Structure 1
Amino acid sequence: MSVYYSQQIDNVERNGKAPYDKITLLVRNQCPQQSNLLVRLTANDAVFAQHLHRLMPTGVPNAEVQLSDIRLIGGKIVVQLFTTISGRHPLDVILRVYNRRGHIIHEWGMLSFTEITG
């Protein structure tokens, strides 16, 4: 995978409980070619979830992936999105972070992710 995007969530426990309970992630391909997408979640530098998907070109079915209700554990959470298209990859990303009551606490788009090309 040649490009990846990263977003960190501080979910360190306070008074014995982590502040965030779950996330929802929506990724849409805005590119005219298909690509593979690997979504990796780490907590305290250890992988706790991975999802591999094929994103079809924009405008056709399966050009988006939604991962709902991914439960979080306490610690430093990193959401990483790896893609097979080199150079600038036009993904549309929405990451929602929920508290234990089910309320959206943070909503981040593509611009809040750090892009690393290789």
Structure 2
Amino acid sequence: MEGSKFFTHVTAFALVLAGMSCERSRETAGIPPVVTTNATGPTLMNDRWRIVKMAMAHDVFTIEVEVVEPSNALVVARELVEPLQSQYAEVLVYVYAEGEGSGGHIPMKRIEWTIDNGFSELEY
């Protein structure tokens, strides 16, 4: 049951994010807007960020995301967390610089959202 819940949430999340990226302008250079699937699971992208990994366990959803502009990390995290707030007690967003989401790089920051405390940032 846990696997089907995860698949349902990832599918809904992908559809919400794909719809949001359709409304955005493609004027800026950076990560191209596209939704693809690879051997390791869904990869979601737009012109400002790219999700490199997602996981959920025990009412916590974790997202690892590369951002084109590091100063927009909190804005991106809020965008990603919003559709999940009614389904999870905690969402963790690990933010990487563009191109550093894999290969053992340390994230720039972790942005946590909880039902009780809202958003908080931890810079590494």
Q: Given the two structures, how large is their TM-score scaled by the length of structure 1?
A: 0.32
Largest Rg, 1 or 2:
1
Q: Which has the larger share of helix? A: 2
